[in-house]
Every structure is written in structure tokens, then in C-alpha cells.
Amino acid sequence: MCTMGCAEGIVKLLMFAANVIFMLGGLALVIVGVLYKLNLDDYTNALPSDYQAINWAPTLTIVVGSIIFVIAFLGCCGAIRESTCLLTTYAVILLVIFLLQIAVGVFVFLEIKDKNDFKVKIDNSITQLFSQNDDASSRELRDFIQSQLKCCGPKGPSFITDKPKSCYPNEDVHSSIYTEGCINVFYDFIIKSMEIIGIVVLTLSALEVVGCVFSLCLSSSIKNRERRFRY
């Protein structure tokens, strides 16, 4: 009897620990999603038209992270009240979120399934952006990319005649000019952003499987205990 009670207590403790991790993980997803949402929104117009769906990845991350944060609270309530209904509901919802996260992770990784094609289209998009000298919005976006990503020109400063202030650190023309071209830097930024979002989502989804198992084990243990007391 003591062994069963101890085992149930350990499972409950592990479930609390798992829910704390889920809360922090959900919060981390929201923060990562917001940060990349703000960044990617600024760069949206520079993305090739075929890859505009990339901008949805941070939004999906924010939604999933918010749901996880709320559901983790439900799991804590179920463990405290020893409610088999809450625990089972929690496990089912966690499983659904797990599948949703897998879908988001796969979406992020597969959205850029052909990196060579993506690189070519980034090359065309950035080159076109730098050629639109008469368009104020294009110049503004170009300056933003150069200052934020610390690059100059589509393939380096030698490819542009008039060097804008955005090609220099803190727009100080007396300092060293950025030497990297914006095509490669922008491409690396998008690829790295998608990889970070995908890795965070898939890592947390693996932990959710453990939380789902703990929840079902605790629910089963509570049901068995109630059954023994009943008879």
C-alpha cells in the first residue's frame, strides 16, 4: 500500500515538474514567436513571393505557446484535485497540441524544401530591391536590411556606387563599411530563424509526450486507488 502511495506521489511530483517545464516552454515559444514575428514582418517585402508563407511560422508558434501555457495550468489543477477527468482531458489536449506542434515543425522545415531554389529567389528579390532607386519604400527597406543585418549592397559594397549611411555602423561614414553582401546575409538570417523556431517547437513536443504519459499514469493510479477503497 505504501509502495503504491509512494509511486503515485512520485508521479504527481514529476507531473508538477513537467507542467512547470511546459509553462516555461510555452512562454519561451511565445517570446521566440513574438521576436521573430516582429523581425520577419519588417523583412516580409524582401521575401520572394513563393515563400511569403514563412511569415506564418512565428504566428503559429505564438498560438501554440499560448495554448501550452494555459493547458499546463489545467494539468496542475488536475493533479492537485486528483481529478481523473481533468487529467485525462489534459492528456488528450496535450496529445492534440503535440500533433499540432509536429505539423508546425514540419511546416517550418519543409517550407524551404529546396534551399538552392530559395537562394536563387532570394538573390533575385534582393537584387530587384537594390535596383529600385526611385521607390521610397524600397530605399527604406533596403536601408533597414543593411543597418540591421550589417551588410552593404546585394553582393558587397563594390556593387553599389553611392554608399548610403546604412552601410556603416551607426550610420557613421567615417567608420569601416560593412563588407558582406545582403543576399547571403539575408538568406542566412531566414534559414537560421526557421531552424530555431523548428527546433524549439519539436524539442518541446518531445517533452509533451512525457507529460501525457505522466498524466495518464496518475489518472490510472487514482482510479485504481478509488476502486480499491470502493471494494
Residues 6+ apart with CB under 8 A from 80: none
Give 173's pLDDT tier (boundaries 50, 70, 90): confident
**8 pLDDT above the threshold of 80:** no
Highest mean pLDDT among 33-37, 106-110, 226-230: 33-37
Q: Identify the band that residue 7 occupies on the pLDDT scale cut at 50, 70 and 90.
A: low
Task: Tell me: pLDDT of 112 over 70.
Answer: no
CA separation for the pair 38, 214 (Å, rounded): 36
Which pLDDT band, with edges at 50, 70 and 90, does 1 fall under? very low
**Listed residue (104, 76, 102) closest to 90, CA to CA:** 76
**Helical H runs in the chain?**
2-43, 56-81, 84-111, 115-131, 136-149, 182-230
Is this prediction's pTM over 0.85?
no
Task: Give all domains of the chain, ordered by start, each with its CATH number.
Answer: 2-112+197-230 (no CATH), 118-182 (1.10.1450.10)
Please give the pLDDT value at position 137. Answer: 83
Mean pLDDT, the chain, as a whole number? 79
Please determine, for residue 228, whether its predicted confidence score (pLDDT) is greater than 70. Answer: no
CB 96 within 8 A of CB 71: no
Split at pLDDT 50, 70, 90, the class of 204 is confident
Residue 80 pLDDT greater than 90, yes or no = no
Q: How confident is the model at residue 41 (pLDDT cuts 50, 70, 90)?
A: low
* Residue 217 and residue 18 in contact, taking contact as beta carbons nearer than 8 Å: no
Q: Does the pLDDT value for residue 226 go beyond 80? A: no
For cell 536563387, name the residue. Answer: 120
Q: What is the pLDDT of residue 191?
A: 85
Say whether 162 sits in a helix, a strand or coil: coil
Phi-psi domain of 178 (left: phi exceeds 0; alpha: psi -120 through 50; beta: other): beta
The predicted structure's pLDDT at residue 2: 47
Residues in the chain: 231
